[in-house]
Amino acid sequence: MKFEQYDISDKIKKSIAEQGFRRPTDIQFKSFPAILRGEDVLAIAQTGTGKTAAFAIPILNILENRRAKHSTNAVRCVVMAPTHELALQLEKVFIALAKYQNISILSIYGGVDQAPQKARLNEGVDILIATPGRLFDLRSQGDLDLSKVEILVLDEADHMLDMGFINDIRDLIKHIPKKRQTLFFSATINKSIKKLAYSLVRNAIRIQISPKDPVAKNIDHAMAYVEMDDKRFFLEDVIKSEPDKKILVFVRTKVRAERVKKAMERVDIIADTIHSDKTQDERLDNMKRFRDGDLKILVATDVSARGIDIPNVDFVINYDLPETPENYVHRVGRTGRGDRKGQAMSFCSTEEYEILEEIEESLGKPINKMEISKTDYKNTIKISGEKENDWKKVMGDIVIEDEEHRKKKNRKKRK
């Protein structure tokens, strides 16, 4: 079935066509009818399957059809997102799809001045996309009217749960009408997520796409056994062997991210980072440069693994294996999006064997192992552009960074 055959607004069809989309993805095909009928939906689908459009398109159609019933400036649809980056991405998708409609859309998030957001809310907003912290700040200050919300969407709900927002979500429910439509979208499902979902939805239509294989079929993923201290040499080797590729590198901590960036700079590789210690402007600028292709290597923590649609990522490299199997799925899902092919490479050190076993158990199959001979392993380290005496500087940097990190944690505790 093509988009033009759906009983949705011609204005939406026009914007869909301009973006080059002709047929819905599986999650869109299965979600559209239930959402358009006004039913609650609990949808589980892997990353890169078109989840955002699966709820954005029917929501825009519903709000356009109901416009005559409301004259208030109160928000009509709330979309909750776990991170700043995802909120901005959702706003971008909604605005593109609503190009020919008279529907106002706004994203709000922390880390930036509240005043412009308050001014926009006073003008009236139909669709509000928000991170939990800023949403509750503005509501408690009396700048946000949630009394007329018709539709509530929880996007990347599993990530919000992981980040500890469950009480915030439950508090939100107290301030919006009981008679509403709730759409619950998640890439993974477990007992905690089920419990939260069924406490929010009513007689929900459950939709699950590819539950047995959470990793998209168009992603080739492999791993190599590389010891922790040697990972920078193998990352250098991959980057230099693929000089024109856009590569997203995942590490476990903010300190590790900066460390990897510096290691690459020592071998004349330009890279930058994105993590929670960066200012909002820095995060947005680095993400924009990476999206536009001006920056080829971006080193990220898991704050960027969830739901972020970065076009044309050729490689995802798990420099550190993630702490949970679910995060492996989210990380590798940044490549191979839509119809594009993608590649994912993981480095596994001796300390990470148990994590690898958990990931493979979750996937239901082993990850392809790249055999590296002892000779090739040694040669990879030997031919590195890093000078022999650089190890002293590396160790010095590590000591300084660890000390700075310790001091920062102590300052936060005192506050």
Successive 10-residue mean pLDDT values, the chain, 415 residues: 89 93 91 95 82 95 76 84 89 96 94 91 93 90 92 88 80 89 87 84 86 67 94 95 93 94 94 88 89 93 69 92 85 79 93 93 88 93 72 48 51 47
Query: Are 174 and 260 found together in one domain?
Result: no
**Predicted local distance difference test score (pLDDT) of residue 68:** 44
**Predicted local distance difference test score (pLDDT) of residue 387:** 58
**Predicted local distance difference test score (pLDDT) of residue 370:** 92
Question: Alpha-carbon distance 368 to 349, whole Å?
Answer: 16
Query: Are 199 and 263 found together in one domain?
Result: no
Residue 214 lies in a domain: no
Query: Are 282 and 368 found together in one domain?
Result: yes
Residue 255 lies in a domain: yes
**Predicted local distance difference test score (pLDDT) of residue 128:** 97
Residue type for 60, please? L
Query: Are 154 and 227 found together in one domain?
Result: no
Query: Are 103 and 122 found together in one domain?
Result: yes
Question: What strand order describes the sheet that includes 368-369?
Answer: 272-274, 297-300, 247-250, 315-318, 342-348, 219-225, 368-369
* CA quadruple 4, 7, 8, 10: dihedral, nearest 10: 50
* CA quadruple 293, 297, 300, 305: dihedral, nearest 10: 50
**Predicted local distance difference test score (pLDDT) of residue 345:** 95
Contact 343, 364 (CB under 8 A): no
**Predicted local distance difference test score (pLDDT) of residue 389:** 46
Query: Which is it for the CA torsion 358, 364, 366, 367, positive or negative?
Result: negative
Residue 367 lies in a domain: yes
Query: Are 190 and 233 found together in one domain?
Result: no
Query: Are 258 and 201 found together in one domain?
Result: no
Query: Are 185 and 329 found together in one domain?
Result: no
**Predicted local distance difference test score (pLDDT) of residue 398:** 46
Q: Report the length, in residues, of the chain.
A: 415
**Predicted local distance difference test score (pLDDT) of residue 176:** 92
Q: Which two tokens mark 315? A: 């490689």
Chosen domain end from 173, 208, 243: 208
Question: Alpha-carbon distance 311 to 190, whole Å?
Answer: 29
DSSP assignment, residue 253? Answer: S
CA distances from 36 to 28, 59, 63, 119, 211 (A): 12, 8, 10, 31, 24
Chosen domain end from 145, 177, 208: 208
187 burial class (0-12, 13-18, 19+ CB within 10 angstroms)?
A: buried
Contact 348, 226 (CB under 8 A): yes
Question: Alpha-carbon distance 172 to 210, whole Å?
Answer: 31
**Predicted local distance difference test score (pLDDT) of residue 223:** 94
Residue 281 lies in a domain: yes
Query: Are 41 and 62 found together in one domain?
Result: yes
Query: Are 237 and 342 found together in one domain?
Result: yes
Q: What are phi and psi of 399, to 5 degrees?
A: -60, -45
The pTM assigned to this predicted structure is 0.69
Contact 178, 202 (CB under 8 A): no
Residue 43 lies in a domain: yes
Query: Are 203 and 230 found together in one domain?
Result: no
Q: How many CB atoms lie within 10 A of CB 4?
A: 13
**Predicted local distance difference test score (pLDDT) of residue 215:** 65
Q: Which domain holds residue 333?
A: 219-408
Closest CA to 182 of 165, 170, 192: 170
Query: Are 87 and 175 found together in one domain?
Result: yes
Q: What is the largest CA-CA distance in the chain?
A: 73
Question: For the chain, how many structural domains are there in total?
Answer: 2
